[in-house]
Structure 1
């Protein structure tokens, strides 16, 4: 039976509700000094603000070793009524110090992922519900191939979905060639993030043909091809017959981007993106992207 693995336990996909399919409540990286998402009270306020505009669930893509604060997630979920899905996995090498990476390379990375998916994240009892990995800019380096091989092994052992950060939205076909081609992960178990950052309609259709999920996530920055190109990209995919493979997310990565700090934050997805996108593709598809689709993308017949 298919279930979504939240920090409070497994639920039926239909119980997930309106879902931000890619975001962060907590995140820490040496690439973002002084901008850490590391404040529990701010995270609670952000979840409450999301709930107030109709949000019901958040998939946190923060992986192993990046300050995901898994121990705090169950209490936050109970206090706010927002379901939370937690990630295992590993980001690009630049987000870790050399010593931490050396320790991980000395062990079995897939074993770590499987343990966090099935037994729980160490000392917390919280089980992860997805595996987060990352590609590079228009390609895959040795680190990406190592982490994706481990993610594929963990997927085959558990059934867990593999969510992929695409650097500036690039490298989607390289990722799919590796994960779905060489490593045998079914397309519908792969979620590609940041397609909005590289609005190439031909590439989008080629990626969607694999059966993977395409996530449009992150509010616009000036002169970036994000919000202002996203509606036409979604419309093109829907018209090509791929409307049932689409997800929406916010991808809040620094403290100043939280709504409670004056930024767009989690509520922006429902306050602004939802209405803007509905004008382009209709409210019915948008509601499925926010409700039905995340349950299908992250729902697993856990092994």
Structure 2
């Protein structure tokens, strides 16, 4: 699995967080009598959760009380619930003005307050369970992403070794002819000449006794300067990543790179020319391409001036 696939998995989570913030803000703002649509857009679209943080600071000035009997949203100034008529505040029986507990006389009509005036059930604040869950998601998603990203590039013991050999075009033609496989060389050269913008790669696979798969890649780099070719391998949680870098020159012939990689999953192959990733066309063949590498002695013979970097 490549880093591109990793982003395809993680990116939807980052897109869901602003959506969750917008939904929560809309519902909470609506229950408080605030401009729900405006605050929802601010929470969802403002970068680095700035809009949502501002909303959390501002919302404290707006009440989110509900009727204790029917759950209808009410305000602190309401004497009774407009939905079910439940008494929410103490009021004067004579003029209906709201009064405070402990008062003996109504300040509006100067009438003595009866005990019945103090018989009421105040509105309540519902528990805000959604905020805790959203904050947990906002914190955990970046942490999980960084953890997966770190582990994906950390070396693991399950990945196998690799072997790489470099050949000039003339050397490889002679070697292929000796093995009776000269037709393979002609095929890959002809395809490269037809479309010089792509890199053509012959591939073959073999299953090994230890449960790993032997992935073989024969890469033709047209007009490549031998001294500029380098390879780098990284074995990580998401599989093997193999990068080939080179620079093209004025030489009419190219270079061949033969790689054999042992891994559980198919390696992610990237080929760059002067820092630009070249599109690859993989052509599966029925021939065991690993015969072009010195696998038994586990060493490689690079072309003169070629360099190799292996990270395992």
TM-score by length of 1: 0.22
Larger Rg: 2
Q: Which has the higher helix share?
A: 1
Q: Which has the higher contact order (CA 8 A, sep 6+)?
A: 1
TM-score by length of 2: 0.21
Q: Which has the higher strand share?
A: 2
